[in-house]
Amino acid sequence: MLANNEGLEMLDLSWNHLRMSGAVTLCAGLKVNVTLKQLDLSWNGFGSAGAQALGEALRHNNTLVHLDLSNNRVSDEGTALLCNGLAANDSLRILRLAHNPLTQLGALTLLNTIKYNPKSALEEINISTVLVNEAFVELLEAVRRDRSGLEVQYQGVTGSVTRTKKPT
């Protein structure tokens, strides 16, 4: 049904208990959809299999702008699978991944994917429940040199981050 959609631009499927098979079916339609711009899949249960299917859909979909995957059991492994698609995507601007079992490793994978995709349109990433490390902060600063408008919400930084001013 989603594959043949000709008018739907926003779809809220949050709290629908979509698990692996449901996620895979949905993503098959999303892969070829040409009208959907905003998709809320929060509070389902995509896990790694769903993240992989979504990554494959994002590799081919060039209309989706806003994706909410909050509370979907997407781990570091799932994030890496999702990033396989994000590496080729040029339309997604907002990605919400808060409240997933994602660690600083997944956060680094996500940021590296953006760094090495020159066509990435991502402007806002919400990983607000992820405690990152100094390596993440440094990579974020490097990415922002080329993409000054990128906003990333994260929980905080582990350890101590010390910045010294450069001599003037």
User: For residue 167, is pLDDT > 60?
Assistant: no
127 in helix, strand or coil?
A: strand
Phi and psi at residue 41, in whole multiples of 5°? -115, 15
Distance of CA 143 to the CA centre of its chain: 16
In a domain, 68, yes or no: yes
Q: What backbone phi and psi angles, to 5 degrees, belong to 23? A: -65, -45
pLDDT band at 86 (very low <50, low <70, confident <90, very high): very high
pLDDT at res. 168: 54
With beta carbons less than 8 A apart as the criterion, state whether 118 and 147 touch: no
pLDDT at 166: 52
Nearest to 110 by CA among 159, 156, 154, 168: 154
**Structural domain contains residue 113:** yes
N-term to C-term CA, the chain: 60
User: What does the alpha-carbon distance between residue 74 and residue 93 come to, in Å, rounded to a whole number?
Assistant: 19
Tokens of 51: 């993240």
CATH of the domain at 95: 3.80.10.10
What's the number of domains the chain is made of?
Answer: 1
pLDDT in tens, 103-154: 999 999 999 999 999 999 999 999 999 999 999 999 999 999 999 999 999 9
> Closest by alpha carbon to 102, among 82, 83, 126, 74?
74
The residue range of the domain holding 140 is 10-157
Q: What ranges make up the beta strands (E) of 55-105?
A: 66-68, 94-96
The pLDDT of residue 43 is above 60: yes
The reply to whether 135 falls in a domain is yes
Residue 164 has a pLDDT of: 45
**Is residue 165 one of the residues assigned to a domain?**
no
Residue 164 lies in a domain: no
Express each pLDDT in 64-80 by its tens digit: 999 999 999 999 999 99
Q: Note whether residue 5 is domain-resident.
A: no
Asked if the structure places residue 162 within a domain, the reply is: no
**pTM for the full model?**
0.90
Classify residue 2: in a domain, yes or no: no
